[in-house]
Amino acid sequence: MRVLRLFTAIENRIFDILYARKFLTRKTPAIQHGCKDTVSTDWYSLVSIFKLIEVDKSEVLIDIGCGLGRVLIFWSKKYPSNRIVGYELNPIVFRECKNILTKKAEIYCRNVLLEEKIYGDLFFLFNPFGEKELLKFTKKIIQSNKKFKIVYFYPVHIDALSTLKKEILIEIIVIKSRVRAIHQKVVVITKK
């Protein structure tokens, strides 16, 4: 198992260097300032998830809690015509991300939960929130958009959305790779 995770770690670093010219798996200076560190989604998971999800050229893609920007970099390559946006709460991580990113993606240092409305078509979440925040965020997305997709990777708090069953559809995708020891759930949330 450990050897297989090592394979994923090496794979992540190779793609980081190829696409970002920096490792996006390292500890950020944020932890030296008492903030929580950020964790990036594996490249393999990103490729697998977005093989299964249809994205139209007109869609605005938003990474909620973009960390060091791996998702934004991946989208910039895969969807060069789309508008790509990242929000990051932690100012230290945000600055690091800004240094890494090309001009293609827009990023903002903001707490998304304080935004009155959040407009977009596809929202990617890799556990930026706890249960209460996830519920608050999802309600805000429902209020702000007629149509949307929330791609919730590693959905540990999905039960928090049970009260919204009448308003949303939840589809579960499983990403598997034996050689990488990956068996991960992804939830796609859409409006009913």
Ligand X SMILES: C[S@@+](CC[C@H](N)C(=O)[O-])C[C@H]1O[C@@H](n2cnc3c(N)ncnc32)[C@H](O)[C@@H]1O
Which positions touch ligand X (CB under 6 A)? 38-41, 63, 65-67, 70-71, 87-90, 93, 111-113, 126-129
Cα–Cα separations (whole angstroms), residue 25 to 14, 80, 103 = 11, 24, 21
Residue 130 or 165 having the CB closest to ligand X: 130
CB of 43 to ligand X, least distance (A): 10
> In DSSP terms, which residues pair with 58 in a beta bridge?
none
Residue 18 or 165 having the CB closest to ligand X: 18
Alpha carbon distance 34, 123 (integer Å): 28
Other CB atoms within 10 Å distance of the CB of residue 145: 17
Any idea what DSSP says for residue 81? T
CB of 30 to ligand X, least distance (A): 8
Q: Which residue is nearest to ligand X (CB)?
A: 65
Alpha carbon distance 182, 29 (integer Å): 28
Residue 70 or 180 having the CB closest to ligand X: 70
CB of 155 to ligand X, least distance (A): 12
Helix (H), strand (E) at residue 97: helix 91-100
CB of 40 to ligand X, least distance (A): 4
Residue 87 or 148 having the CB closest to ligand X: 87
